Chains A and B, each alone.
Chain A
Amino acid sequence: DIQMTQSPSTLSASVGDRVTITCRASQSIGDWLAWYQHKPGKAPRPLIYKASSLESGVPSRFSGTGSGTEFTLTISSLQPDDFATYYCQQYNYYSTFGQGTTVEV
């Protein structure tokens, strides 16, 4: 199975900060990568697909870059609603989630 490693595991930030989360794949996955936002008691919400394409309805402050084995999710100006856990997911070969990055105050 392809392993996905996110960093950092936890990130402390303030409203207005620029936030970057990294996701590394154990082998090349092309651009078959998605990012999700997950809040307690709610279903995960897809934010980004194919590494850099924004899902419909997702604010433009979210962006994704990368290909091959290294990917990033950037929130350009953190908003109060953005405090959550973020997961990357590869879907090049079957599927694997990263271990998650919690963005906290």
Chain B
Amino acid sequence: QVQLVQSGAEVKRPGASVKVSCKASGYSFTTYGVSWVRQAPGLGLEWMGWISGYNGHTNNAQKFQGRLTMTTDTSSTTAYLELRSLRPDDTAVYYCARDSVGTTGVVDYWGQGTLVTVSS
């Protein structure tokens, strides 16, 4: 069965970076993409960016331009999200989700979420 298993919770200081991993199994990693979505406390879902599992092409929401890096390791079928220059309002649960391979689409399977807390 399709599974996306994310790394554990993180606590970071403002200005630091965080890297979240998302290990995919149960499907052909290179025929799908991965989107990253976050949910801050009490708020809704926010799409952050997408990466193709086939060729590593990415696109991301303008607000994260310059702070966000998404990568994949096809040998381990793992996607990574790195967010830099963290601020307290980056505190959120970060989800990876299976997406289309060529561009963004409907995300069907989701990881369990990774809580990132940014606090001094």
Contacts and interface: CB of A to CB of B under 8 A. Distances in A.
Interface residues of B, number: 26
A77 B105 CA distance: 28
B43, B104, B106, B110 — most chain A CB neighbours (10 Å): B106
A35 B96 CA distance: 18
Contacts of A98: 44
Nearest to A42: B110
B98 to A, nearest CB: 11
B62 interface: yes
A49, A91, A98 — most chain B CB neighbours (10 Å): A91
Interface in A79-95: 85, 87, 89, 91, 94-95
Given A38-B45, A98-B44, A43 B104 contact: no
Interface residues of A, number: 20
A25 B103 CA distance: 19
A94 B50 contact: yes
Nearest to A93: B104
B95 interface: yes
A94 B44 contact: no
B11 interface: no
A62 interface: no
Interface of A: 1, 34, 36, 38, 43-44, 46, 49, 55, 85, 87, 89, 91, 94-100
18 contacts: A34-B106, A36-B45, A38-B45, A43-B97, A43-B110, A43-B112, A44-B107, A49-B106, A55-B106, A55-B108, A89-B106, A91-B103, A94-B59, A94-B61, A96-B47, A96-B61, A97-B37, A97-B44
